Amino acid sequence: MSTTRQVKCCTGLTVTVREMTGHEISALKQSRNADDDGAYLANQCLVNVDDTGPLYDWPTGQFVVDDLAAGDLAEILIGVRCATFGNEFTFALACPYCGDGHEYTIDLQRDLEHRPMDEEAIDRLLRKEPFQTEVQAGTKTHVVQWLPARRRQLLKARKQAKLNPERAYAWAVSTRVLEVSGVHENGKLAWLEDLGVGMLAKLVDLMDYYDGGINGDIELRCGSDACRKTFVATVPLDSEALWQRPKPRWAKQGRPDHRRIG
Ligand SMILES: [Zn+2]
């Protein structure tokens, strides 16, 4: 029997997932296509769709990974990871003030913000009606039309980012921007790249807000006694994080009971 866990995703989708098996972890480690890892794991470890929520209209028992809102997939993958190794996650990070590297351990469920997708965003996805945002570029005002992200847009953005790593930010935004008023379809990416980085970041923040899901930013306190400053860092929740086993804390927990585990 494997450990299962119910995951309530940001659109209201509720699923039950199980822990990863050794076979699945080796398949991930050998995988040459990190983009497919998420879909593979979500499909493999899905035990049941308990409630499709308002966004999806799947026939009973069917689960369409490519249709998932980006935030839902992230919640499912974190759920699989927590079912496998528990909620604790350890990562190493350098302090931005003193430069000292330390390991930090967080609880993936309790310490990270899990925000529901904005109701208006769900509504717009259902009606396929984009958001409209005015963006000031130089002396001109453009109306940018964009949609909340689904997995297939993320895939497209990652593929593009691999080909053009230095243009990744604009690419990622361009895959979900449908139209920019006064700009030709073919000039959309160039327009985004010409936009000030601050303005582009504001656009990304806006999109992130309406997407909901897991906010990977967290406040940490430097582990060096001489420093102890607090700073905000982004928890590295990439696909490798999924199979990172937490360090055994025997020193803290004392002698384990050899008669029974689980
Ligand atoms: Zn420090």
- What is the domain count for the chain? 2
Residue type, 96: P
Winning range, highest mean pLDDT, from 39-43, 180-184, 246-250:
180-184
Residue of 222 and 257 predicted with greater confidence:
222
State whether 85 and 148 are in the same domain.
no
In a domain, 66, yes or no: yes
Question: Which of 94, 93, 95 is closest to 235 using CA atoms?
Answer: 93
Cβ atoms within 10 Å of 121's Cβ, excluding its own: 24
Distance 111 CA to ligand 1 centre (A): 21
Instruction: Note whether 134 and 192 are same-domain residues.
Output: yes
The answer to whether position 170 is within a domain reads yes
pLDDT in tens, 66-101: 889 988 999 999 999 999 999 999 888 999 999 999
The answer on 87 and 15 residing in a single domain is: yes
- pLDDT score of 94: 93
The answer as to whether 165 is a domain residue is yes
103 CA to centre of ligand 1 in angstroms: 12
Span from the CA of 226 to the centroid of ligand 1 (angstroms) = 8
How many A from CA of 220 to the centre of ligand 1? 10
Residue type, 215: N
Q: Which helix (H) or strand (E) holds 141?
A: strand 140-146
Between the CA of 113 and the centroid of ligand 1 the distance, in Å, is 24
pLDDT of residue 47: 95
Residues 182 and 222 in one domain: no
In a domain, 42, yes or no: yes
Clarify whether residues 164 and 231 are in a common domain: no
Give yes or no: residues 103 and 29 share one domain: yes
CA of 233 to the centre of ligand 1 (A): 13
Q: Is the domain of 62 the same as that of 162?
A: no
CA distance 165 to 159: 10
Q: Is there a domain that residue 176 lies in? A: yes
Residues 78 and 189 both lie in one domain: no
- Residue 46 domain flag: yes
- Give 112 Cα–ligand 1 centroid separation in angstroms: 22
- Is 50 inside a domain boundary? yes
pLDDT number for residue 173 = 83
Regarding whether 139 and 43 lie in a shared domain, the answer is no
Answer whether 129's CB lies under 8 Å from 178's CB: no
Residues forming beta bridges with residue 8, ordered by sequence position: 14
Which residues does 33 contact at the CB level (< 8 Å), separation at least 6? none
More confident call, 6 vs 29: 6
Q: Residue 93 Cα, ligand 1 centroid: separation in angstroms?
A: 10
What are residue 7's DSSP bridge partners?
15
Domain that holds residue 156: 118-211
CA distances (Å), origin 192, targets 19, 182, 197:
41, 13, 9
- 188 and 235 within one domain: no
Give the integer Cα–Cα distance in Å for 20 and 27.
11
What are the phi and psi torsion angles at 116 (to 5°)? -65, 155
Residues 143 and 178 in one domain: yes
> Greater confidence, 58 or 253?
58
Q: Are residues 107 and 161 in the same domain?
A: no
Q: What is the mean pLDDT of the chain?
A: 87
pLDDT over 70 (residue 252): no
Ligand 1 center from residue 78 Cα (angstroms): 29
Query: CB of 23 within 8 A of CB of 56?
Result: no
For the stretch 165-198, pLDDT in tens is 666 677 778 888 899 999 998 999 899 988 888 8
CA-based nearest residue to 61, from 1, 117, 123, 16: 16
**pLDDT for the residue 118:** 92
* pLDDT tens-digit map of 106-153: 999 999 999 999 999 999 999 989 999 999 888 899 999 998 888 777
Q: Residue 92 C-alpha to ligand 1 middle, in angstroms?
A: 13
Residues above pLDDT 90, as percent of the chain? 47
For residue 27, name the pLDDT band (cuts at 50, 70, 90). confident
**Is 261 inside any structural domain?**
no
